[in-house]
Amino acid sequence: MKNCLIAQSGGPTAVINSSVIGVVIENKNLCHFDNVYGGLNGIEGILENKLINFSEMTDEEINTFRYTPSSGLGSCRYKMKNFNENEAEYKRFFEILNKYDIDTFFYVGGNDSMDTVSKLSEYAKLHSIDKRILGIPKTIDNDLMFTDHTPGYGSAAKFIATTVLETYLDSSVYMNNGVFILETMGRDTGWLAASAALAKINGKPVPDFIYLPEKSFSIINFLKDVRRKMQEQNKVYIVASEGLKNEEGTFLAQLNSESKFDNFGHAQLGGVCDYLKNLIVNAGITKRVKTLELGVMQRCAMHIASQVDLDEAFAAGKAALEYAIQGKTGYMVGIRRLQNTSYKTENFLIPANEVCNKIKYFPLEWISEKGNNINDAAIEYMNPLINESPTLNYENGLPKYTQIK
């Protein structure tokens, strides 16, 4: 009897379940593991013995799960300590693997999850534990190093760009429209905010200005931009990342309201659009300022997911299984872009300890000199990632999703 275990960690995406099903279906094809277990609530749940068995699911259940957004196995924000600080946890983890005859553990997640992959695989090597630990990338933030991009990003980008199109049309209907400010996620990086530039109407990009955390935010330049554009066209469409910082390096959202921190010490932001609104109103440019925070919709909008993204998430799971069979451990599956026109990618391996606790920033050379927009190189990079739409099953007019009990 030889089994494998897969679990999810960190913030959800629309396509994270696709990676899980990539492992499940490829295992069916190759008949390698006897059972594919799912760990509930990531490492946190596994340590509490919370496992389900995918081998007991019907094909229909598996297909519905594949097209269900968000972390279907549940998630956690549990940070493992180093094994010299809390070895009991590591022992407990491998005991559970032994109990279920689990040979390989797949962890679908971002930076912090790759930290777990790195620590677990290192511990196993040190103690000659014959188990494989592999990471599958996932984050709408697109901020993992070495991989061309991350599954989850394309669908978030597609949702954002679609919403930019639609809210731009909504905010342009009156004779006096004023300013519209859309706030995207992106604590450290501007990948999500940048995707707004994909929205074009009659060939022209919709956002007048896009502000990314990679460039420090200048209030003076911002107000100059907005004032000029209002004079020119009597309406302004602005996209701002939640992670914008001023020239002193302070989050704008922090200037606005009390800020909180999650278990990893990351600032929990939000409210940048209200801060910018106040700047505009107080500067006397206009009182007509509408704001919209996209919030969690960015990471779960399966109904407008990218099929390219879904396929790549699935392929990353499939590849992870194949790498496990080859005996690889301590790696994250990466995506390499082979060609941009007639877009094509392949998977490869990246040592998990090189990925974890690092951040891939939006390239400065893709940001306009004034720091208020992005350029064509960025659009060329992003465009293939949002292509094609999935054919979802609908029930009573709504997409059919499922939830594991």
**Which of 254/402 has CB closer to its own copies?**
402
CB-based contacts of 57: which residues, under 8 Å, 6+ apart? 65
Which residue is listed with tokens 């407008």?
A: 304
Structure tokens at 28: 């069916």
**Which of 202/339 has CB closer to its own copies?**
202
Q: Are 349 and 328 in contact (CB under 8 A)?
A: yes
CB-based contacts of 202: which residues, under 8 Å, 6+ apart? none
Q: Which residues sit at the interface with its own copies, rule CB under 8 A?
A: 8, 12, 41, 44-45, 68-72, 74-77, 158, 161-163, 165-167, 169-175, 198-202, 290, 292-293, 295-297, 299-304, 306, 383, 386-389, 394, 396-399, 401-403
CB-based contacts of 200: which residues, under 8 Å, 6+ apart? 206
Q: Are 70 and 156 in contact (CB under 8 A)?
A: no
CB of 59 to its own copies, least distance (A): 17
Residue from 112, 141, 143, 274 carrying the catalytic annotation: 141
Distance CA 387, CA 381 (A): 12
**Which of 69/330 has CB closer to its own copies?**
69
Q: Is 104 helix (H, G, I), strand (E, B) or coil?
A: strand
CB of 4 to its own copies, least distance (A): 22
Q: Are 135 and 107 in contact (CB under 8 A)?
A: yes
**Which of 272/300 has CB closer to its own copies?**
300
CB of 239 to its own copies, least distance (A): 15
**Which of 3/113 has CB closer to its own copies?**
113
**Which of 111/121 has CB closer to its own copies?**
111
Length of the chain counted residue by residue:
405
Q: What is the CA radius of gyration of the chain?
A: 22
Question: Cα dist. 276→9, 63, 173, 364, 383 in Å?
Answer: 33, 43, 22, 23, 28
As to burial, measured by CB atoms within 10 angstroms (0-12 exposed, 13-18 middle, 19+ buried), residue 202 is exposed
As to burial, measured by CB atoms within 10 angstroms (0-12 exposed, 13-18 middle, 19+ buried), residue 387 is middle
Residue 103 is among the residues annotated as catalytic for this protein: no
Q: What is the DSSP letter of 172?
A: T
**Which of 290/328 has CB closer to its own copies?**
290
Q: CB under 8 Å, gap of 24 or more: what pairs does 379-385 form? A: 379/197, 379/198, 380/340, 381/340, 382/157, 382/194, 382/195, 382/197, 382/198, 383/198, 384/308, 384/340, 384/343, 385/149, 385/153, 385/154, 385/157, 385/306, 385/308, 385/309
Strand 267-268 with 289-293, pairing: unpaired
Active site residues: 141
